Structure 1
């Protein structure tokens, strides 16, 4: 339980955090580490809301001196709301992805978001990042000295069986430019091999911009047994993200012992698979070609995934780590 002897920890989260139609790694993280705590959900088109009244009212209703953790998507774009409350509340901000790193932002908008985020993060008592790489980036980007790392956990999962061991590929990610589906499909189309790719995740307008190919299927967001079945029946997990702070779907795949080729996820992947340079279509083509043509390479990736599977942290560990961070805010 999150309730301490003198303080109740409150989590301020986006209102859609529990929406099954909009799954995301950030939402899963928020739900898992906030279990047992008081969740305060605020509606708005974050991180650039037209109306901040819901967040203002939520923070104003919390007594002075209380410990509050805010999701960065809610907090980092509105310093005019958050910073004044940092003077009376013990605030921490959880950053899943720096606001300016979202793919598709024009430079001017990114610069504004970066400055707003800097103002918020410098004002609060603690910043929580979800990976060592993300923590170093925040420290350098914003000149911070109070960034803590709390990596996502994993649940025990059944081992992947695959199909024929080669040709059934799986990607689990929202269909957005940042996740690199366009690059992945183009690279696969250049590979001389029989393949099938399942892209599980919420459909976005970006779907219409992907190269057409009847070997690619889009079943939408999967959860529960359907998601487990997708992992268990896959031969290879692929994620061509242009930017990530962790990449929870990678550790989910590794929890199944599923071979992984991915970009932008050095901390989540560790030594459990092949890390490809982000945005490099030629490198993706070479990696996928090797997967289809080199049996020893495939066997090596499976062995790496199984070894990493045995060392993954749990959600209980993540929750304990976060509690230790928030305890530093108490007198």
Structure 2
């Protein structure tokens, strides 16, 4: 079957949504679907009239369309218009829009169906808009080499430098651990919010951590693999997260993870015991957890063993694509 996949053109860093979209398209094609990926430029999630007209044109003539919710959520009239011409528009909602509830509710109602990357994301939509028929297609994880770890232990945080990702909180917690041996890398793009990226750099300098905390910028390919290869612990402190692809990426490398309670990253970590989900209403919780991990070899080994065990049971992206393909056909 032919599927037109519409993705936003205004998210240019390596976001989880972008990675999910690319992997889904790749594996739908591997299952035999004819995938046409169209990047729709615009100031999404609502855009200008010209942006929405561009979106409407991208919808036109496609028998089956998957549209990223960042583009589709603010354009209910365009979706309804396409549906009236026989186009089945599936909205891939990575996360409910922060604003524009009225538009998003109408867009979801006009769509042929809704796909979410996690039960957490589906529940958030349901909490805002009532009962919805949602297909949950959790992300897969590519196979990866097992991390060798480092001496001293090395901590990685893989996420764009954005306020939601809370890198300043991590730097503050690490600043309380000067007396222990560790190093850390903050791996993610500085481009989406240069002002916040500057705050992260300033925090590193303020606490005198320049020799211990490295801001690498966004890394891909072998450069990123090199950092995973020396990682002992991964940290994702997002205040909101639909799933957290970096969690399964960590586990695929046998690296345990600390995440924030109340986010979709908890779903990604599951009951593996390969790390911890923390209530971060108090900074001391993170500091104490890191101190406990850094000073307790038995805890390190237990988390590591659980990560290696979880690594054996990760779903592949072929399962994600199969779930979506079954739904849209």
For this structure pair, what is the TM-score category when the shorter chain's length is used for normalisation?
0.7 to 0.9
Query: 35-44 or 249-258: which moved more?
Result: 35-44
Aligned to 1:47: 45
Is 1:15 matched with 2:9?
A: yes
Moved over 3 A (4+): none
Please show how residues 1-331 of structure 1 align to structure 2 within 5 Å: 3=1, 8-15=2-9, 22-35=13-26, 36=29, 37-50=35-48, 51-59=51-59, 61-63=60-62, 66-88=63-85, 89-100=87-98, 110=99, 113-164=100-151, 167-191=153-177, 192-203=179-190, 204-205=193-194, 206-210=196-200, 211-212=203-204, 213-214=209-210, 215-263=212-260, 264=263, 265-270=265-270, 271=272, 272-278=274-280, 280-327=282-329
Give how far 1:86 is off. 3.1
Give how far 1:280 is off. 4.1
Q: Is the 8 A contact 1:125 1:146 kept in 2?
A: no
- The gaps in structure 1 that reach 5 residues or longer are 101-109
Q: Deviations over 1:187-237 (max 9, x none)?
A: 111234233220111103111122133132111111111111111111111
Give how far 1:87 is off. 3.2
- The gaps in structure 2 that reach 5 residues or longer are 30-34
Structure 2 CA distance for aligned equivalents of residues 176 and 158 of structure 1: 28
Please, what TM-score do these two structures have when normalized by structure 1?
A: 0.87
Q: Is the 8 A contact 1:163 1:234 kept in 2?
A: yes
Over the aligned positions, Cα root-mean-square deviation in angstroms equals 1.7
Match of 1:234, SS?
A: coil
Q: Deviations over 1:147-184 (max 9, x none)?
A: 110011111100000112x5311011010011111111
Please, what TM-score do these two structures have when normalized by structure 2?
A: 0.87
Alignment CA distance shift 1:218-1:294 (3 Å): same
Give how far 1:267 is off. 1.2
Give how far 1:278 is off. 4.7
Q: Is the 8 A contact 1:25 1:248 kept in 2?
A: yes
Give how far 1:314 is off. 0.2
Alignment CA distance shift 1:287-1:86 (3 Å): farther
Structure 1 CA distance for aligned equivalents of residues 312 and 171 of structure 2: 31
Give how far 1:279 is off. 5.1
The number of residues matched between the two structures is: 303
